[in-house]
Structure 1
Amino acid sequence: MVIQEQALSKLANAMRIYGEEHMNFNRLKLVDAEEAIDNLDRAMEAKLEAFHSLYDVTKDLFDYFDHADTAVLILLRNAVHHRNHLLFKTWNQEMGLNDGHKKYLGADFLLASHDILTNGHKMKHLYKLEDFYLRIDASLGSPFLENRMSDKSRQKLLNQLENDLSFGELKKYAQGERYPLKQVYVNIIPIYISAAVKVFKALNDQGVKFVGFDANAYKEAFTNELSVDLGSFDYSTIRIL
């Protein structure tokens, strides 16, 4: 189990570093917005890489593709890792770099975040909802379709997103409120928390030890305390002025 324990410790370390960058974001953006955005995005990418590393060495202990939250993190990691497309720019990157917000002056955006069923501050790391569909829905004719997946695997993941992550309900709500899909962003943090909860619990039940300060710091929260409702969203809106 030493290899698995090392990967788990790496993930916990990446999660801690991301939390620190998130806490530092509002201060740093007043000094250097580009550095603040790049630091936070790279920290998220490090979390996704660490999650994928854990998947690589524990996929015999937990079926990552049987759960929408864990499967979509692997999809997202692969997308931002290979970068052979124009998808999955974060909200901060799209709006905050190179005067990007000026392309959207006067536009309204819908921001959706699954409900975390515990108290505390909810961090946000937003990706465009449309990009998930452009990556796996072959019917859209996207040039950025994930071609490493089989048609069957893409369809399975599409069904998981629509149903298990309630993206289908999110689309209906957005359409009812007259938001174009390209103006709808989803917070990946609750999905990440839900995925980590599932994996941490499964590995803990199978005897994988939480080694090191960071891993032990997260163990109790992610095996006994945190819970996410993937069937409901907290909505907010923003207009670019």
Structure 2
Amino acid sequence: MKVISVINKKGGCTKTTTCIHMAAYLAKRGNKILLIDFEAQRNLSIGYGIPEDYPYTVFDMLNGKAGLRLKNKKRNLYILAGSDMIDTEVYPLDILKKRLEVLEKMFKKEHDITFDYAIIDCSPSDLKNKFAKGKLQPKLNQIALYASDAFIVPLVHEKYAVDGLANFMYDAAAFKKEFNPSLKVGGVFFNIVEENTRRFKKYYQEVQDSVPDDYFLKTFVRKDVQIADATDEGESIFEVAPKSRSAKDYSKLCREILNKIN
């Protein structure tokens, strides 16, 4: 199982939307997908209509509760529900990595399911180390990256999102060097793009020039009202409007990401 974190320290950068449509694309092509809601706002779970009182959540898994249960949304697509309690405790850095190893073995043994990809919807926070009494207190994003094989960073073409990218990528590189040297950078890409605007062209060029070539994804996802329609229906764009421009963009984006990380 290859684990991919969708991550950015800034909110509103379409992390959850990216997880939903990327997972749908991969699942429709026969891959077994595990989606992990790893932030307290539970946006991923809400998007899939999973109630707050779902009987098993990521908080339960992190705390070693028995009775592991995933929500089977569609063929090949399984979701580990989120919990607003996830950020109320401090966990060891390797907790998610260990729990996912157990989950993999259990689903293979009990359900004959072998996951191809796990996609983690991360919380909007930075990656700077936090210490208490000289001991590292890992943040949820750090725990996610420690368990990951690769990460991708969605962006919107707005000043604050672009201005914060350099520091975030610097912190990600520092984390990779210290804690997970094999972590791959799947890339940075733009979402909700208004393609012909001067602002998008400016920020696209700015980011392309400022990050290493291997870190920049040339594919961008154009703004499309049908994405909002899909969200309202609790579906992906591939169910609601499979021939839309955003469906084409997400398909192309996923292929570019996979080429980088595989």
Confirm or deny a common fold (TM above 0.5). Answer: no
Between the two structures, name the one with larger relative contact order (CA 8 Å, sep ≥ 6). Answer: 1
TM-score by length of 1: 0.28
TM-score by length of 2: 0.26
